[in-house]
Amino acid sequence: MAEEEERGPGSVYQMFVLMEDLLDKLKVLDYEQHVLDKHNIKPLSRHYFVSSPHMLSNSGEQFYMFSVIAAWLISLCGRPFDTPQEYDDPNATVSNILSELRALGGQVDFPPSKLKSGSGEHVCYVLDQLVEKALKSKGFTWNRPLYPSVEVEEECVQEDDAELTLSKVEEEVTKLSGSRPAVVLESDVDAAEWNLEVERVLPHLKVTIRTDNKDWRIHLDQMHQHQDGKMEYSLYYIGCLFKLREDISKTLEKVSSREKYLNTQLEHLISEYRQAQAQLNKVKELYQQASGGVTERTRILAEISEELEKVKQEMEEKGSSMSDGAPVVKIRQSLTKLKQEIEQMDVRMGVVEHTLLQAKLREKNNMTRDMHATHLLEPNTQPY
């Protein structure tokens, strides 16, 4: 294989050409029957092993397909090779395939890791080398292609003139039958001229039967064709389903036997696990009971703490009110104000008493004066 720098710009697309040639060679070896049907694998596409960012890829599936086809080709070359399985070590599989290719005379000048992706130039190269070896061992050789000679017929007659319906043909035949002469006619025309005339008018004697889509015979033929196609496909898919059923049955048997083996090997561990599970359930029950008591006590503690907070708040309010001197100051101020008001009332009462005393004295003086005046007038009024 040439180095990367020695290649031209079209080397990127060389893989596509190589893959198409590889697929044709595999079809020559009838890989559909020997590989696809045997392993129940879908047919390969034209560029299945090509590595390109524009194509979907599945490295696991492609590597498995590559290993299966490579093993089959190696077996065709007369060397026994076991078919790899999906879960085999890919490094060992690649190493075995390259060893067989070297033993068959193939050239390998690239690292084995290039084949682990299941696609790319190196995968196509290895398969192409193996398929060439297989074809050579089978004695197959490529012959030159034979191209058939194609004669072009000159159609100079228009379609309307060339087409004759069956009704017209029947009318002409009826006319000829009705005008049949009583004596056998003998032709005096030369046979060579007759053949030339037949060749000349032969293109004009084209009869076209126009099919009617509403004809029940056509529909019946189509139904038979579809029925035959369905039978072919049903037989094919029934065979595939039977193979799939057999594979599933074998897989289930393997799983069942493996399960029984694991049960027998792990029976003591399972019994220990069950005992541990039972103990765990008991511990969980005890934990739930203890959790219920803790919850109830937590609720009671919350209520007691709430009552204690209320008592503390009341005590703090009373303590703050007792240590505060503002009420005493207010009482003293009130007493002082009350004493002042009492003194003012005493002064006012003294003034009022003094006023009343003066009024009484004045009234008494007036009465005394009136009494004196009365006594003075009484002697003067006595008769002589």
Mean pLDDT of the chain: 78
- Phi and psi angles of residue 226, each rounded to the nearest 5 degrees, phi first: -65, -40
- Percentage of residues of the chain with pLDDT beyond 70: 78
- Give yes or no for residue 164 having a pLDDT over 50: no
Among 52-66, 90-104, 124-138, 163-177, the range scoring the smallest mean pLDDT is 163-177
pLDDT of residue 167: 53
- Percentage of residues of the chain with pLDDT beyond 90: 6
Among 85-94, 133-142, 370-379, the range scoring the smallest mean pLDDT is 370-379
Q: What is the dihedral of CA 256, 261, 263, 265, to 10 degrees?
A: -170
pLDDT of residue 255: 92
**Distance of alpha carbon 97 from alpha carbon 88, whole angstroms:** 13
Nearest to 135 by CA among 34, 25, 18: 25
**Distance of alpha carbon 134 from alpha carbon 30, whole angstroms:** 12
Let me know if residue 85 belongs to a domain: yes
**Distance of alpha carbon 136 from alpha carbon 106, whole angstroms:** 13
pLDDT of residue 155: 42
Let me know if residue 382 belongs to a domain: no
Mean pLDDT of 263-274: 85
What phi-psi label fits residue 208: left (phi over 0), alpha (psi between -120 and 50 degrees) or beta?
A: beta
pLDDT band for position 4 (cuts 50, 70, 90):
very low
Residue 86: partners with Cβ closer than 8 Å, 6 or more residues away:
60, 64
Residue-wise pLDDT for 30-76, tens only, equals: 888 888 888 888 888 888 888 776 667 778 888 888 888 888 888 88
pLDDT band for position 276 (cuts 50, 70, 90):
very high
Q: What is the pTM of this model?
A: 0.38
Q: What is the dihedral of CA 359, 361, 366, 367, to 10 degrees?
A: 110
Let me know if residue 88 belongs to a domain: yes
Let me know if residue 83 belongs to a domain: yes
Among 134-148, 164-178, 188-202, 235-249, the range scoring the smallest mean pLDDT is 164-178
Among 28-32, 90-94, 173-177, the range scoring the smallest mean pLDDT is 173-177
pLDDT of residue 162: 41
**Structural domain total, the chain:** 1
Given a contact cutoff of 8 angstroms between Cβ atoms, the answer to whether 87 and 145 are in contact is: no
Given a contact cutoff of 8 angstroms between Cβ atoms, the answer to whether 74 and 131 are in contact is: no
Highest mean pLDDT among 189-198, 203-212, 232-241 belongs to 232-241
pLDDT of residue 111: 85
Let me know if residue 274 belongs to a domain: no
pLDDT of residue 248: 93
Q: What length does the chain have?
A: 384
Give the chain's end-to-end CA distance (angstroms, integer).
Answer: 196
Among 49-58, 115-124, 202-211, the range scoring the smallest mean pLDDT is 202-211
| Residue 111 to residues 81, 95, 203, Cα–Cα distance (Å) | 22, 10, 68
Structure tokens at 336: 């002082």
In terms of residue numbers, what domain contains 132?
12-138
Highest mean pLDDT among 170-184, 186-200, 344-358 belongs to 344-358
- Give yes or no for residue 27 having a pLDDT over 60: yes
pLDDT of residue 58: 78
DSSP state of 107: -
Let me know if residue 57 belongs to a domain: yes
Let me know if residue 147 belongs to a domain: no
Helices and strands of the chain, counted as H and E runs? 12, 0
Let me know if residue 48 belongs to a domain: yes
Q: What is the largest CA-CA distance in the chain?
A: 235
**Which of 378 and 56 is assigned the larger pLDDT?**
56
Residue-wise pLDDT for 12-22, tens only, equals: 677 788 888 88
What phi-psi label fits residue 36: left (phi over 0), alpha (psi between -120 and 50 degrees) or beta?
A: alpha
**Distance of alpha carbon 245 from alpha carbon 237, whole angstroms:** 12
